[in-house]
Chain A
Amino acid sequence: MAITINGTTGISGVDGSAGTPAVQGTDSNTGVFFPAADTIAFAEGGAEVMRIDSSGNVGIGTTSPISKLEVKAAGFVAASISSDSTSETQLRFYTNTAARISQQANQALIFDTNATERMRIDSSGNVGIGTSSPQGKFNVGGGRSVFGANSETYSIGVGYTQARVNSGQTYYIGATDSATPDLVFSNAAGTERMRLDTSGNLLFNSGYGSVATAYGCRAWVNFNGTGTVAIRASGNVSSITDVGTGQYTVNFTTAMPDVNYSAQVNARVAGVITTGVAAYDVTNTTSALFVVTYSTTTAVDCTYVNVAIFR
C-alpha cells in the first residue's frame, strides 16, 4: 500500500477491495473501499454490502442501484421504519407533483396491519379488501362495509365520470354472489328489511308482518267521466279514450307483460255507488283495457271512475 497523508487530501492513495477495504478497523475484511471512480462501497466479512455509486445512488445488496435507494436481496427483503416509543412511524413524500407507490412487476401490491394482509391491488388493478383475489375493480370481503354520508345527501353513489358512451348506458347495483344472488337490505342490526331476489321479485315488510313479495299496481287512473272528461291522477297511463257513454279505454304507457293481469274497476255517480261496473275487454293484451260502467243495464257516465291493474 502507498498511503499518502497530507493536509490537503487527507488520507489517500489506496482504493482497497471488498476483501481488503482501504479503511478498516481491527477486522481486516470489513470497512470502506473505493471500487470505481466516484464510488464508495462498504464491505462486511470480505463481501460488499452497500455502495454509493457515481450518480449518488445508494445500493444495499446491489452494486448497481437503479434509483436513489435500492435495497436488494436474493430472497426475502424488507426495509423497516421502526419506533420504540408510542410515536407514529411514517413514510412521507415531499414533492411538487404526485407521489407514487409503485409495484413495477406484474404482481400484486399488498397492505398489511398486525402482520396480516388487509388490502391488495392485484396485477390487474383490482382492489380487494378482506380478500386476496378481488373479483372486479373493487371487492370487499370478509365482513360488513359501512359508508358514512356525514353531511352528504347519499353515502354510496353510482356514476360514470366520463361522457356517456350512449344514451342507453345503464348503471347497475347487484349481488355478485352466485350462491345467494339476492340483494338484501337490512337495518344496522343486520335485520332484513327488503330483498330483491334473483328472479326480480321485490320483497319487503311494509306492515305486512313479514318480508314478502310485493305485487305492485302496474297502472292506475282516477278520472271524471262526466262533462268534459278529465283525469284526476294516474300512473303508467298515457291516456284514456272516451269511446262513448260510460265506455273508456285505458292506454298503458308501458305495456303489461301478458294478458293475465287483474283489472280492478269501480265507479260511482255523485256519491252513489254504481253497481255493475265491469272490465269489459281485458284481452287486448299488452296495450289497452276496455272499461264499461253500467247502471243497471245502461251505460252511464260516472263522476268517479277508478281503474287499477295488478300483475
Chain B
Amino acid sequence: MTQRIIYPTQDGGVAIIIPTGELPLEEVARKDVPAGVQFKIVDTTEVPEDRTFRSAWEADFSNPSGHGVGHDAWFAEQAAKEEV
C-alpha cells in the first residue's frame, strides 16, 4: 500500500492508518477512522519519515476525503449485508 489514511486525534495530533490490503482502502477508512471524524487519503511520501517530533505533527483537514463510521457501525453494516 502506497497510501495512508490520516485523521485528527482528540488531543490535536494526527493519526496515520496503515492499511494491510485485506480490505479496500475506502472501506478501511470508513471502518478504522472513528465515527464522524474526517479523514484524508494521502500518499506515503507525504508522511514524514522523521518521527522525532511525532507528537507535534499537524495536517490540513480542510479538504477531507470523507469521514469514518467507526468500527461498530461498520461491522453492523457487514452483518446486515450477510443477512440479505
Residues of A within 8 A of B (CB): 166, 168, 221, 223, 226-231, 234, 236-245, 249, 251, 253, 255, 286-288, 301
Contact = CB atoms under 8 A, between A and B. Distances in A.
5 contacts: A226-B51, A238-B28, A240-B20, A244-B9, A287-B75
Interface in B32-56: 32, 44, 47, 49, 51, 54-55
Contacts of A243: 9, 13, 15
A227 B31 contact: no
Interface residues of B, number: 27
B72 interface: yes
Interface centre among B13, B32, B44, B75 (most CB of A within 10 A): B32
Contacts of B28: 238-239, 251
A286 B75 contact: yes
A253 B47 contact: no
Interface in B67-84: 71-72, 75, 82, 84
Contacts of B5: 239
A239 B32 contact: yes
B51 A239 contact: no
A241 B32 CA distance: 8
Contacts of B55: 244-245
Q: Is the interface of B mostly helix, strand, loop or mixed?
A: mixed
A221 B18 CA distance: 12
A227 B16 CA distance: 13
Given A238-B28, A238-B32, A227 B51 contact: yes
Contacts of A240: 17-18, 20
Given A253-B22, A253-B23, A287-B71, A241 B51 contact: no
A238 B19 contact: yes
Interface of B: 1, 5, 9, 13, 15-20, 22-23, 27-28, 31-32, 44, 47, 49, 51, 54-55, 71-72, 75, 82, 84
B75 A242 contact: no
A253 B19 CA distance: 11
Given A226-B51, A227-B51, A236 B22 contact: yes
Contacts of B9: 243-244
A241 B15 contact: yes
A288 B31 CA distance: 11
B31 A238 contact: yes
Given A238-B31, A239-B19, 20 more contacts: A166-B84, A221-B20, A227-B51, A228-B49, A231-B1, A234-B22, A239-B17, A239-B23, A239-B32, A240-B18, A241-B15, A241-B18, A242-B16, A243-B15, A245-B51, A249-B32, A253-B20, A287-B71, A287-B72, A301-B54
A234 B75 contact: no
Interface centre among A227, A243, A251 (most CB of B within 10 A): A251
Contacts of B20: 221, 231, 234, 237-240, 253
B22 to A, nearest CB: 5
A172 to B, nearest CB: 16
B19 A244 contact: no
Contacts of A255: 71, 75
A46 to B, nearest CB: 75
A241 B84 contact: no
A245 B16 CA distance: 11
Contacts of B54: 244-245, 301
B46 to A, nearest CB: 10
B11 to A, nearest CB: 9
A234 B31 CA distance: 18
Given A237-B22, A287-B75, A251 B32 contact: yes
